[in-house]
Structure 1
């Protein structure tokens, strides 16, 4: 496998969206956002219209990272191109979306702690893509996919906006919050106590003074605060952690997190109806996932079946693997989605 970029059979368009919804966001993050659009082979030579698949990044991910190259692994856009170059699946337009914040992410939700990233995706990015490219601009030809926090986005976005997305693929997406999030609360509470006197203000002062020198522990602190900003921020933007200084759950805050758990959402009538309307649902995760997201995937699959999504519309798979290094799974899901979205 070559260590440098390969020639593409399709092409990538890089653009910037000037977002009205992200102007004045609480964190002062840029409202002009990059978007990367993959156009399949033959797009420029035809007048064909295509389904679209939107890609949401995981936490601590931003759009520029799709170009990263590691030994013996190809970046996602090249894996996609190889899939479509074979001509074995119906072609699609693939849109890579950025929802980065200074906290490392937004879960693609609307929140007074981060900004209107859910509305940005559904009400600005999707119409922009449909206006600029030859898409089949209806929800039955539009899917969303992602891994980890991006997989979370793929699960909840079609439930929140079934008018926009008609299919999903989630790879090790955040789900079953009691399993994937709650076990880490005591450890983070202890670390914050020992290193920063249980003060996130002291953590941020230290973190911002060490630009370019962040540790894994820094990123874990940041991630927990970012999740809290997405799930449990007050109307004035105040971020509430779901646990106290000894890691004990604060019920009224934790309930706000659970209200956004894909597994629990699926059991609610409106969200269940949205799931039943989907044309395709792909769920997978590694059997050795460090965050127990294989269990979360299993729980979401169970919930999908319980609300009555027909088995023929669902692909569920647990495979040998951990949370990282599973990029090879992405084109498998995209290929399956393309087949399900084809008329």
Structure 2
């Protein structure tokens, strides 16, 4: 999200909205020049003491998705400096979920980006604030440029892929501490949404969550008829890369939350059709909002050892919705931390937040082998 444009802009059909949309499109294009499923792994931008790998993980849960996304997913893995030198040692794992139109490549420093998680971890280790751990970022870039980490016949069962198949692969192939107490889940924007969505359902897999600038929390998430009309102008997934940012996000939400197996080739339903609001689709979207989901998952939320939330104060309505989610946790007596930092926009301080807040959070809460 562009520093000068808030998520609230996405829901307004005014001239200001259109100007903001242009800014969003330019930001997305500049930010992610190499997003997608390219498998080449060039030398990392920042030299590291640890090792980076880019592997492929097959998702049985992603097979047969209606838009034809490859169920073999690129996954970036960071192994800490002592991994090869200490062959008996096992490590906790933090799984990190990237945002919409983004990919693992940027978050792992294969290219210049607003964040480099392995480099942030090594700076924290040098400062003594972060312990050695394994980091994992799956690539969730889809035909609609983001999976929403949801379960849909259109784009696949991403919840199962992350919580079961990805975790299972990492535990089988690396020296992990294969227990929930040694697994954390974190994410930014769409990834923050995915962290809360998956984390509140799977405390059997992850013990600690940290959601940065989590998008899409509110049940009133609904674009106007003009925005949906632009999305409806897309008649095939192959046209999505050329669409503007708003059109992409509307289609991604619909593919994730209102899939339609009987409406090829997009296989989704939109909240407006023939000039009329579709209350059934609106209700389906609302049912996928964490501010609604949390009330159905209170027992699971209570099982989590730690929940961290943050957002930049200028990142509205994300900051307000993050605060509302924290207030919901507090109402149920569920322990958590929340910080609305000022100044802060959607991407302006993420690298520093990862280094100084997110990774120390997991270092202090996950179970280590020593």
Residue 129 of structure 1: which of 153, 170, 174 is its match? 170
Report the Cα distance in structure 2 between the residues aligned to 1:186 and 1:254, rounded to whole angstroms. 12
1:337 matched to which residue of 2? 362
1:242 matched to which residue of 2? 271
1:316 matched to which residue of 2? 338
The Cα shift of 1:131 comes to 0.9
Instruction: Provide structure 1 residue ranges, at least 5 long, that are not aligned to the other structure.
Output: none
Residue pairs, 1:38-53, within 5 angstroms: 38-46=78-86, 47-53=88-94
1:19 to 1:74, Cα distance in 2 relative to 1, 3 A: closer
2:291 matched to which residue of 1? 263
TM-score (norm: length of structure 2): 0.79
The Cα shift of 1:113 comes to 1.6
Report the Cα distance in structure 2 between the residues aligned to 1:133 and 1:239, rounded to whole angstroms. 38
TM-score (norm: length of structure 1): 0.84
| 2:68 is the counterpart of 1:28 | yes
Residue 104 of structure 1: which of 132, 138, 145 is its match? 145
Instruction: Provide structure 2 residue ranges, at least 5 long, that are not aligned to the other structure.
Output: 1-43
1:27 to 1:43, Cα distance in 2 relative to 1, 3 A: same
| 2:221 is the counterpart of 1:199 | no
The Cα shift of 1:76 comes to 2.8
The Cα shift of 1:187 comes to 4.8
- Counterpart secondary structure, 2:246: helix
1:37 matched to which residue of 2? 77
1:224 to 1:124, Cα distance in 2 relative to 1, 3 A: same
| 2:276 is the counterpart of 1:276 | no
Aligned-residue RMSD, C-alpha: 2.3
1:188 matched to which residue of 2? 227
1:302 to 1:244, Cα distance in 2 relative to 1, 3 A: farther
| 2:81 is the counterpart of 1:59 | no
Q: Deviations over 1:183-205 (max 9, x none)?
A: x4245146x2xxx8x5332x867
Kindly indicate whether the alpha-carbon contact (under 8 Å) linking 2:218 and 2:292 is maintained by their aligned counterparts in 1. Answer: no
Residue 324 of structure 2: which of 290, 299, 318 is its match? 299
Kindly indicate whether the alpha-carbon contact (under 8 Å) linking 2:228 and 2:270 is maintained by their aligned counterparts in 1. Answer: no
The Cα shift of 1:263 comes to 1.2
Report the Cα distance in structure 1 between the residues aligned to 2:157 and 2:92, rounded to whole angstroms. 25
Q: Deviations over 1:131-163 (max 9, x none)?
A: 111111111211111111000001010122221
Report the Cα distance in structure 2 between the residues aligned to 1:121 and 1:236, rounded to whole angstroms. 27
Report the Cα distance in structure 2 between the residues aligned to 1:301 and 1:245, rounded to whole angstroms. 39
Residue 9 of structure 1: which of 26, 49, 53 is its match? 49
Residue 87 of structure 1: which of 103, 128, 133 is its match? 128
Kindly indicate whether the alpha-carbon contact (under 8 Å) linking 1:10 and 1:41 is maintained by their aligned counterparts in 2. Answer: yes
Kindly indicate whether the alpha-carbon contact (under 8 Å) linking 1:157 and 1:165 is maintained by their aligned counterparts in 2. Answer: no
1:178 to 1:187, Cα distance in 2 relative to 1, 3 A: farther
Kindly indicate whether the alpha-carbon contact (under 8 Å) linking 1:41 and 1:84 is maintained by their aligned counterparts in 2. Answer: no
2:34 matched to which residue of 1? none
Q: Which moved more, 1:19-28 or 1:94-103?
A: 19-28
- Counterpart secondary structure, 1:177: coil
Aligned residues between the structures: 316
Q: Deviations over 1:260-311 (max 9, x none)?
A: 111111112xx11111111111100011114x1001101111111122213x
